[in-house]
Amino acid sequence: MINVYVEISKYLMILLMAMYTFCNFRYFTVAEEEAKEDYCAWQQRILLLLHFIAFSVLFFTGEELLLLPFYGVQLLFFLCYPLLVRKIYPRISRLLLNNVCLFLALGLIMLTRLSLEDGIRQFVLILVGALISLPVPFIMDRVLGLVNWRWLYGAAGIGLLLLVFAAGSVAYGAKMTLSFGGISFQPSEFVKLSFVFFAAAMLYHSLEFRNICLTSAVAALHVLILVASRDLGTALMFFVAYIAMLYAATNRGIYALLGGLMFAGAGAVAYRLFSHVRTRVAAWLDPWSDIPNKGYQIANSLFAIGTGGWAGMGLGQGLPNRIPIVEKDFIFSAISEEMGAVTAICLILICLGCFLQMMLTAYYMDMLFYKLLAVGLGVLYIFQVFLTIGGVTKFIPSTGVTLPFIAYGGSSIVSSFLLFMVFQGMHLIMMGDAEAESGEETEEYWEDEDTDEE
Amino acid sequence: MRNKGEKRRTHSGKDLFNRSILRITYGVALIFLGLMAYFIWFVQVESPNVIGNTYNPRVDLMAERVIRGKIKTADGVVLAETQRGEDGTETRSYPYGTLYAPVTGYSQKGKTGIESLANFYLLSSHVNILEQTTKELLGEKNTGDNVWLTIRHGIQAAASEALGDRKGAVIAMDPETGEILCMVSKPSFDPNTIQEDWEALTAEDNREGQLLNRAAQGSYPPGSTFKLVTVLEYIHEHPSDYQDFHFSCSGSYTDPEGNRIQCYGGEAHGEQDLFQAFANSCNGAFARIGEEISPQETAKLAEKLLFNQALPFDLPYTRSSYSLQEGDSLFLKEQTAIGQGKTTMSPLHNLLLTAAVANGGELMKPRLLSHLENAGGENFRTFSSEGAGRLLSEEDAGLLKKLMGLVVTEGTGSAFRGAPYGAYAKTGSAEYESGGERKTHAWCNAIGEGDGKQLAVCVIVEDGKSGGSTAAPVARAVLDAWWAGEENHGEDTNL
C-alpha cells in the first residue's frame, strides 16, 4: 500500500508544483491587484499541501518518529513567517515572499530525505536567517545614509575577502570558509551584498569616466582576491553582476562587450593557470570516458536526473546519496531524480520568475542607486542559479556554487534571506513612491487611463 | 523622507536606464530558455543513452522491482533468460553457452556485451499499467522487456561450425541496414559458469584470451586485405594511366636497396597488370606500388577509411592503427603496402570497409539491437538503421567491387566459384612471428549478393594457411547459409 501512496503522491506533487508555477506567471499577466492577491493566496495553500504530502511520504517510507514534531515546527514556520512579515510590512511583495517559502520547503523536503540531521540543522539556520533579515526592509526604507557609505561597503568587502585569503580553510580546492569558536561561515556570501551596494553607490555618486575606472579597479580587486582564494565560481558571479550594473548605469554596449572580451581572456588564463579548471572542463566535455575519477560527480548527477525521468523515482526511492556533495552543489539533481524533471523545470521557472520580479523592481524604481542595486543583486541571484543548474546538468562546466535557499549551508541561507529582504525593502520604497505620486502628481501618472475611461 | 531634488535628477534619464535593464532581462530569459531546452532534450532524448551505463547504480535498484528480460535472436531463439526458483532466487541462464558469449557477454562479475549495452531495457517493464500497478500492490516483481537482436541463429551456427576449433572470428553484416547477422569469436567462455571459471580465465599465464571478443577487439596485421587501400591510392594518383601498370613476377621481388619480398608460397605470377596483381594478390607488384605512392596521401586515405579513428560501434572494440610516414624506410613502405609493417586492424573494421564497398561507398552503422518487446510479446520499440557517413565515392566503391569480383573469377578467391549468388572477395595471408616460427593469419572479406539481398562477411583464422584456402571456405559457408535460407536450421528455432 505504501508503494501506491508514494506513487500517487508523486504525481500529485508534480501537479501542485505545476499549479504553483502557473500562479507565479499568471500573477505577472493580470492587472488587478485583487486577482494578484488571489493567486498569491492560492500559492500559499498549494505550498502547504505540497509540504504536507512530501513529509507524509517521508514519514511512511522512513517511519522516523522525530519527523512528526519536525514537520509540526516547519508547518508553524510556514504559517507564521509570511503572516509576521506581512504584519510588519503590509506592502511587501507577496510573490517574492511565497517563492522564498517554496524554495525553503523544497530544500527542507530534500535535505530531510537525504539526512534528517542536515534537515534539522538547515531549519535552525532558516530561523536564524529569517530573524536576522527581518529588519532589512525597514532599514532600506528609513536609513537615508545608505547611498553615502560607499567606501564602507568597499572596505568591508575587501577586508573580509582578504581575511579569508589569509586565514580561511580549504575545502574542495577553494579557500572559502572562516571559522572561530566552532562556528564556520563563508564571508563571500555576505561580500556579495556589500559588493553590489558598493558598486551601486559608487556609480550613483558619479558616472564620470574617472569614477568608473576607480569603481572598476576596486571591483576587480574583489574578483582577484576571490581568484587567488580559488573561489572561481563566486569570482565569476561578481564579475558578471558588475558588468551588468555598469551596462545598466551607462547604457553603453561597449562595457558589455569589453566585459565579454575580458571574460574570454580570463577564462583562457584560468584554464592554463589552474589544474582544477582544466579538470572540470574535461569532465564537462566528456565525463563518460573517466567515470570513476574525473567524471564521477557529473556522471552521477546525470544518472540521477536521467533515471528519474519526467516523473521522478518518488521520494526516498532513488539513490541521490550516490552523488558526491549532493546536499550542497547537487541538490537540484536530487530533486530532479526523486521529484521528477517536471518539478525541476518548474523550479527553474520559479527562479526565473523571481528574477523577473527583481527586474520589475529595477524598472520602476526612480533612484539610480536602487535601480543599480536591483540589477546587481538580481543578476547575481539568477547567475548563481544558472551556474549551479547549468553545471549539474552538464550545460556548462560545473563551478561549485549552490542553489540559493535550497542547498544546505548557513551562510548561503542567511545571505539569500538578506538579498531577498533588500528587494522587499526596495519594493516598499517603490510602493511608497507610487502612492506619493498618485497623491501629488495624479495628472502626470494616470493621464492615459483617465482619458481611456472618459 | 527621500530627497526630492535627487529624485528629479535621476528621473530624466530613467528611460535610458530602463532600456538597458530590459535588455539584460531579455538576455537572461534567452539564456534560461536555452538551459531549459537543453534540459528537456537531455531528459527526453539523451538520457536513455546515459542511464544504461554500468556505472549507474540506479539500474541495479531496478533489478529489485523487475525480473531481467530475455535476449533473443532475430529468429526468436532465446540466448539469455532469468529463471526464478521457488524461493525467489534468480539465475541467469545462457542455453547456448560459449556460442553466443561474444554477443551476450556475461551478467555476473559485472556486465559486458548485450547484457551491458541493453541493461536498462532488460530491467525496464512495459507490461500494461494495470498489471504493473496490481503487481506493485501485491509487492510482486514485474517482468522485464525482451531484447531482440539482429543476429540470426542459422548464420551464427553455420559460422561457428565452419570455423570449428580454430582460433579466430567471423562477423557478418547486412551492408544496407547495418544489421549484424553473426559475431563469432573463438576460443570463447561460458557465461553460465563465469563465476567458477573467472580465476582461470583471468589468470596471468592464460594466453588464450577467451574473454576477448576477437571480432571487434582483436588486432591483427591486415595482410593482403590492405591492398584494397593501396590499390585505391594508386588509382587516385594515376587516374588516367593505372591501366598501363605492369609488373613481371618471378615469385620474389628485390627492391633497389636489396630487400626481398616474396609472394605467398613463392608463387610466380608472371606478367601482371594492376587488376591481375590485385586478383592474385601479387606481393611484388604491390611492394613496387608502395615505393611509389605518397605516404602522406595514403595516410589521409587510410584515416578516411577509419584507420586511427573511432568506429561507429556500441560494444567495446580496438582501434585500427596506421602509422607510415614520409621518412620511413623503403622496406617499411613496401611492407605497409602489402598490409604487413606496423599496420593493425580489427575484423570489425575490415568488415565495415567491405560493407561500404558493397553499399556503394556509404557505410551503415553496424547494430545488434533489432527491437524491444514487453513480457506480453508486444513490440513497442523498433531500432532503426543509421548512416555512418560515406567512406568511398560511388565510383571508387564500384571499382573496388569489380576488383573483388576478379579475385573470385581469376584469383585467390576460388572458394566462391560456383556460388548461387554473386560473390566478391579479398583474401589475405598476414605473416607474423611467434616463438621464432613464421606463421600466418588467414583473412577473407567477402560480399554476396542476389535475390534482392546482400551480405558482407569478414573472417580471420589465427595460425592458418593462406586466406584463400583457410578463411575463404568459412566465409563461403556463411554466405551459403544466408542464401540457403533459414529453413535448414528451422529445428533450432523451436527450441
Contact B40 A367 (CB under 8 A): no
Best residue in B21, B38, B50 for a mutation probing chain A (most A CBs within 10 Å): B21
Any domain includes B79: yes
Per-residue pLDDT of chain B (495 residues), as tens digits, is 444 434 434 444 566 678 899 999 999 999 999 999 999 999 999 988 888 787 888 887 788 888 999 999 999 999 999 998 888 788 999 999 999 999 999 988 888 999 988 988 898 888 877 887 777 767 788 899 999 999 999 999 999 999 999 999 999 999 999 999 999 999 999 999 998 999 999 888 888 889 999 999 999 999 999 999 999 999 999 999 998 998 999 888 988 888 888 888 888 899 999 999 999 999 999 999 999 999 999 999 999 999 999 999 999 999 999 999 888 999 999 999 999 989 999 999 999 999 999 999 999 999 999 999 998 888 999 999 999 999 999 999 999 999 999 999 998 999 999 999 999 999 999 988 877 888 899 999 999 998 889 999 999 999 988 888 999 999 999 999 999 875 444 444 433
Residue A320's region, left for phi above 0, alpha for psi from -120 to 50, else beta, is alpha
Return the ∠ at Cα A98 (arms to A97 and A100), rounded to 5°: 65
Q: Give pLDDT, residue A440.
A: 53
> Using an 8 Å Cβ cutoff, are B181 and B150 in contact?
yes
Mean of pLDDT values over A242-248: 93
Boundary of a domain, candidates B331, B348, B364:
B331
Q: Which residue of A has its CA nearest to B64?
A: A317
Binned at pLDDT 50, 70 and 90, residue A236 comes out as very high
With residue A419 as reference, give the H or E element that holds it. Answer: helix A410-440
Q: Give pLDDT, residue A145.
A: 83
Q: Which residue of B has its CA nearest to A347?
A: B36
SS3 B461: strand
Query: Cβ contacts of residue B85 below 8 Å, gap of 6+?
Result: B91
Residue A180's identity, in one-letter code, is: F
Mean of pLDDT values over A256-270: 88
Spatial distance between the Cα atoms of B325 and B328, rounded to a whole number of angstroms:
6
Q: What is the ipTM of this complex?
A: 0.92
Spatial distance between the Cα atoms of A270 and A224, rounded to a whole number of angstroms:
12
Contact B50 A302 (CB under 8 A): yes
CA distance A25 to chain B (A): 14
Contact B53 A288 (CB under 8 A): yes
For residue B128, CA distances in Å to A317, B133, B373, B376 come to: 22, 9, 12, 9
Show me where the domains of chain A are located: 2-438
Q: Give pLDDT, residue A438.
A: 65
* φ, ψ dihedrals at B458, nearest 5°: -130, 130
Binned at pLDDT 50, 70 and 90, residue A437 comes out as low
Boundary of a domain, candidates B331, B351, B373:
B331
Q: Does A114 touch chain B (CB under 8 A)?
A: no
Q: Give the pLDDT confidence of A127-157 residue by residue, as tens digits.
A: 999 999 999 999 998 887 888 888 999 999 9
Boundary of a domain, candidates B316, B331, B346:
B331
Q: What is the DSSP letter of B109?
A: S
> Using an 8 Å Cβ cutoff, are B457 and B445 in contact?
yes
Number of domains in chain B: 2
Helical H runs in A89-178? 94-114, 116-133, 136-142, 150-167
Any domain includes B199: no
Contact A359 B46 (CB under 8 A): no
- Which of B10, B50, B137 is opposite residue A368, by nearest beta carbon? B10
- CATH assignment of the domain containing B138: 3.90.1310.10
Any domain includes B366: no
Task: Say if strands B168-173 and B252-254 run parallel, antiparallel, or are unpaired.
Answer: unpaired
Contact B35 A4 (CB under 8 A): no
Which chain B residues touch A368 with a CB distance below 8 Å? 10, 13, 17
Any domain includes B478: no
Nearest to A326 by CA among A335, A339, A314, A317: A335
Contact A371 B17 (CB under 8 A): yes
Q: Give pLDDT, residue B255.
A: 87
Any domain includes B94: yes
Nearest to A249 by CA among A414, A332, A330, A369: A369
Mean of pLDDT values over A10-29: 95
Spatial distance between the Cα atoms of B251 and B282, rounded to a whole number of angstroms:
8
Q: Give pLDDT, residue B6.
A: 42
Q: What domain range is B312 assigned to?
A: 227-331
Which chain B residues touch A303 with a CB distance below 8 Å? 50-51, 53, 55-58
- Which of B21, B31, B56 is opposite residue A375, by nearest beta carbon? B21
Q: Does A434 touch chain B (CB under 8 A)?
A: no
- Which of B6, B32, B55 is opposite residue A367, by nearest beta carbon? B6
- Which of A319, A348, A375 is opposite residue B24, by nearest beta carbon? A375
Higher-pLDDT residue of A173 and B478 is B478
Which chain B residues touch A395 with a CB distance below 8 Å? 34-35, 38-39
Contact B55 A303 (CB under 8 A): yes
> Using an 8 Å Cβ cutoff, are A398 and A391 in contact?
yes
- Which of B13, B50, B61 is opposite residue A306, by nearest beta carbon? B50
Any domain includes B477: no
> Using an 8 Å Cβ cutoff, are A249 and A203 in contact?
yes
Q: Which residue of B has its CA nearest to A309?
A: B43
Q: How many CA atoms lie within 13 A of B129 on its CB side?
A: 2
Q: What is the DSSP letter of B45?
A: I
Spatial distance between the Cα atoms of A277 and B483, rounded to a whole number of angstroms:
58
Q: Give pLDDT, residue B3.
A: 42
Which chain B residues touch A355 with a CB distance below 8 Å? 25, 28
